[in-house]
Structure 1
């Protein structure tokens, strides 16, 4: 019998049952139920403009009719290449109404990346910001299967053009494209025919970051979407008390589920602010008074460090979660001290349609006394999380191995990549690539990414442990640790550090700080102080870019 076979705590938060019923057969039915409950309520808030649920329903109906009239059919893919704007959500719902699959694309993607994503997904329709079409997509589209291009502007749906975001922005009409709102306007008042969606149909393709090989399109099904939206509503308290703030990018799985899907389910207003700019976000928090958000701790820290931040900016929140990047106990305490709010932790991947573990709302995550790691929660309901060795065998509780998850949030596979599906999702269980352990009470702790382990003189060094110790120094804002070649040790530990404003510290002082607190083989032998650490758009620090800098 496995150490994981008899766990009475599995999937039980408070008085909720472990056997968690999925309420809707598909995400479109979930959306329609929200419209029926509150048709005149605000669905999307974008600066001084808003879209009601009834309007979102009508706009997506019209767009779906237009798509079908243009040759779009069930199973076709529509790619969305925009920032956090209402048009993203309109296109998502319209794609489902037309029986299709939405493909979410990072708006930071350039020519080579966009070309790959459009070709790999086989998208036949592209929705793009006008500026992104002119700068990037126009060059790419002729060599893809895209036959309809809809363009849109960040200036739509609001009238108060913020100079901090939209300075110099003008409308751009491009030959061979259709304006989204004009296109939908031609079909306003019409209804698409009934669509036959099922729980195992793909709702959207979300592409992995491609840190190992080319990006893969995770096939997030309607069952995946409905289940994780319910998890956010019921165990994270998302949207229960009022608006949700979209701090994470909508193209990312955190934004897709922790912002859009749960706002459609509850229903609750979703507040959008185009892209993450700390001063703009702080103003929006005061203006719209959201009650929930989830984002990378790096984004939350950027708000705390922004000029003019006060505790009042977070006074409306009842629930704040961190996901998408590791959080240290030091960062958790700093956020609580600055805001008066306990930041909770969620952990998941693109392939788990956001959360596989969650810290129960109202309970702080424990800290492992040996490693100093902050727990990322316990398994979500209906979810089995195991710790396994390289041969796929369960390890005893407390031992370190790869985190493996099974449950209704795990994707069906990767689009058009059966070999990668078989390797990463054997038997439907996701091999996460993250290394961690589970304590006897069911709390999961992440040690690090499997591929980031440093082998120093035969000893295993996990970068995150060193980063957490560095974070304890009052001058350190952020830290990233990588392995670098060393003639004597094979590999040695190097830290890249950015400092808090107004502080000073030398590399030698930081090395001494770690040496006092860690085993001799773990502390960094090299420290380099830099202005900013490289990050993904979601705030995850890119260790690989730092490794690539080493000659």
Structure 2
């Protein structure tokens, strides 16, 4: 579908690359063991002033796995991780794999109903959580589920800096009925689990969809999926052991799982964790750690751009920047480059594609379609076939809008407990995302098909309206939804938050958009909010706005 020969800088990413026929490693444990053998004394994890080398991480995860097995954990059992961005997340994930199990990533913002839903659906027998989450949520939920082993930990562990911009008011908590994770590791130190027998098609983790358009579903991500897309990050972005990953994406999300953990375990580069995102801390950490690579939602980069503490030199070494999970306004890319001197490369994927299916190669700049003003999400990564199909399933030519259908080694095996779910079938995913491919093979995402607004018979895509609003100098974030209208059926309703110190009225924003868009597209109503509701990964929660 794509003439790769027309763009020499894509030659190495041609689909069917010979090196991609078989997995580089049979499972993630073998991938990690290779990194340990290459550089055992190199830093695997950095957490404030704490350091864990690859050899230390190997020993800690051996202890975790041995402890699970001694408690009756069996191959295929699930370990639920209810944690922030702390080293214990990586320890438990690797340890679960070494014990022959898989992990279940749970958003630490979830409350009792949501935690109960995921524990029940996954059938997890082990829960690893922060002490505060045990006290506030898990202690009341876990006893009524399949959880048999409860391990708790503190965000203060594995570091001594106790940065008060992050840890103010946080103290260690007693958790009756649970075992302290560090004590658990100490009990089983110097023990080695049996060699891993996990195969490429065994499940590495269940990653639940964000639920922006319906109930969360657990995508069954295999070891083949993880190894393949860890390699995609490594090869596409030219990463190796000399790089340093700045961990800004939540580890429970597929971006953090692959674009932070998996690629760092593959390449042997340090992963820098900061507990929770704080713009000022992120800027300082990037400078102190000489971070070179990161990937995260565009909302993070907007926050950095608008931080009063931001200085150009803070991100001097951060030359490999990628953003995915939410649409990127072209104006944000331009403003970020002007402020920090670095280009934000687009990357696109879904939970079901184990992070990237498309990316902008390092050093290239994504084109902007002049008609809708959309920034391209890139081109398909190697061994990935992407079709644009119409409502009847037939392929559409370049320039025509349809649903993206993706096939490749990164597509998850299916959904947990949902054998009849039709979105994934034989390695092919119907994404539900609407977009098109241009004549040069660049892909553009228009919006989610369910978010389309029908204004008096005219189709309006929220993404296009949002991109126009982002061009206004006062707008920090924008979100657009369709709301009932007695005359037009639906009308365009916009929500915006403003940059620090900026002032603008709803009427001024309506007039701004009206000058730049067709009459049926511009918002008839604008509300100014302090914050726009989003998932923890930066996706706008349009259903809440509706």
TM-score bracket, normalised by the shorter chain, equals: over 0.9
1:132 is aligned to 2:133: yes
2:446 maps to 447
Q: Which blocks of at least 5 consecutive residues in structure 1 are unaligned?
A: none
Matches within 5 A, 1:96-115: 96-115=97-116
1:168 maps to 169
How far apart in 2 are the matches of 1:212 and 1:486? Answer: 22
How far apart in 2 are the matches of 1:74 and 1:496? Answer: 48
TM norm structure 2: 0.97
How far apart in 1 are the matches of 2:377 and 2:194? Answer: 44
1:327 maps to 328
Give the match's secondary structure for 1:112.
helix
How far apart in 1 are the matches of 2:498 and 2:169? Answer: 33
1:291 is aligned to 2:292: yes
Deviation at 1:307, TM superposition (A): 2.1
2:78 maps to 77
1:230 is aligned to 2:231: yes
1:489 maps to 488
Q: Which blocks of at least 5 consecutive residues in structure 2 are unaligned?
A: none
Give the match's secondary structure for 2:12.
coil
> Does the 8 Å contact 1:9/1:442 carry over to 2?
no
How far apart in 2 are the matches of 1:154 and 1:119? Answer: 26
Matches within 5 A, 1:33-432: 33-239=34-240, 241-420=242-421, 423-432=422-431
How far apart in 2 are the matches of 1:391 and 1:132? Answer: 47
Deviation at 1:15, TM superposition (A): 3.4
How far apart in 1 are the matches of 2:196 and 2:76? Answer: 11
Deviation at 1:368, TM superposition (A): 0.7
How far apart in 1 are the matches of 2:190 and 2:500? Answer: 55
1:23 maps to 24
> Does the 8 Å contact 1:10/1:442 carry over to 2?
no
Deviation at 1:195, TM superposition (A): 2.0
Name segments (4+ residues, structure 1) moved above 6 Å.
9-12
How far apart in 2 are the matches of 1:207 and 1:462? Answer: 26
2:527 maps to 528
Deviation at 1:213, TM superposition (A): 3.1
> Does the 8 Å contact 1:239/1:262 carry over to 2?
no
How far apart in 2 are the matches of 1:6 and 1:416? Answer: 40
How far apart in 2 are the matches of 1:13 and 1:241? Answer: 24
Give the match's secondary structure for 2:177.
coil
TM norm structure 1: 0.96
How far apart in 2 are the matches of 1:332 and 1:416? Answer: 40
Deviation at 1:5, TM superposition (A): 8.4
Relative to structure 1, is the Cα distance of residues 10 and 191 closer, same or farther in structure 2, using a 3 angstrom cutoff?
Answer: farther
Deviations for 1:110-162, whole angstroms, at most 9, x for unmatched residues? 10000011110000011011110011000001111110101111111100101
Relative to structure 1, is the Cα distance of residues 76 and 11 closer, same or farther in structure 2, using a 3 angstrom cutoff?
Answer: farther
How far apart in 2 are the matches of 1:192 and 1:9? Answer: 51
How far apart in 1 are the matches of 2:213 and 2:355? Answer: 20
Deviations for 1:367-416, whole angstroms, at most 9, x for unmatched residues? 01221100000001000011111222211111001111000000000001
Deviations for 1:294-319, whole angstroms, at most 9, x for unmatched residues? 01111111012112210111101120
How far apart in 2 are the matches of 1:318 and 1:528? Answer: 36
Deviation at 1:36, TM superposition (A): 0.5
Give the match's secondary structure for 1:15.
helix
Moved more, 169-178 or 151-160: 169-178
Relative to structure 1, is the Cα distance of residues 76 and 106 closer, same or farther in structure 2, using a 3 angstrom cutoff?
Answer: same
How far apart in 2 are the matches of 1:68 and 1:337? Answer: 53
Deviation at 1:428, TM superposition (A): 2.6
Relative to structure 1, is the Cα distance of residues 5 and 305 closer, same or farther in structure 2, using a 3 angstrom cutoff?
Answer: closer
How far apart in 2 are the matches of 1:11 and 1:461? Answer: 36
How far apart in 1 are the matches of 2:4 and 2:266? Answer: 30
Relative to structure 1, is the Cα distance of residues 24 and 55 closer, same or farther in structure 2, using a 3 angstrom cutoff?
Answer: same
Relative to structure 1, is the Cα distance of residues 154 and 431 closer, same or farther in structure 2, using a 3 angstrom cutoff?
Answer: same
Deviations for 1:267-322, whole angstroms, at most 9, x for unmatched residues? 10000000111122122112111100001111111012112210111101120001
Give the match's secondary structure for 2:302.
helix
How far apart in 1 are the matches of 2:287 and 2:169? Answer: 26
> Does the 8 Å contact 2:4/2:14 carry over to 1?
no
How far apart in 1 are the matches of 2:173 and 2:368? Answer: 52
Deviations for 1:148-192, whole angstroms, at most 9, x for unmatched residues? 101111111100101122122221122221111111111111100
> Does the 8 Å contact 1:124/1:146 carry over to 2?
yes
How far apart in 2 are the matches of 1:263 and 1:462? Answer: 37
Give the match's secondary structure for 1:540.
coil
> Does the 8 Å contact 2:2/2:441 carry over to 1?
no
Matches within 5 A, 1:438-477: 438-477=437-476
Deviation at 1:347, TM superposition (A): 0.3
Give the match's secondary structure for 1:169.
coil
Give the match's secondary structure for 1:373.
coil
Tell me how large the CA RMSD over aligned residues is: 1.5
> Does the 8 Å contact 1:241/1:318 carry over to 2?
no
How far apart in 2 are the matches of 1:201 and 1:133? Answer: 30
How far apart in 2 are the matches of 1:16 and 1:396? Answer: 22
1:506 maps to 505
Deviation at 1:7, TM superposition (A): 6.7
Give the match's secondary structure for 2:299.
helix
How far apart in 2 are the matches of 1:436 and 1:327? Answer: 15
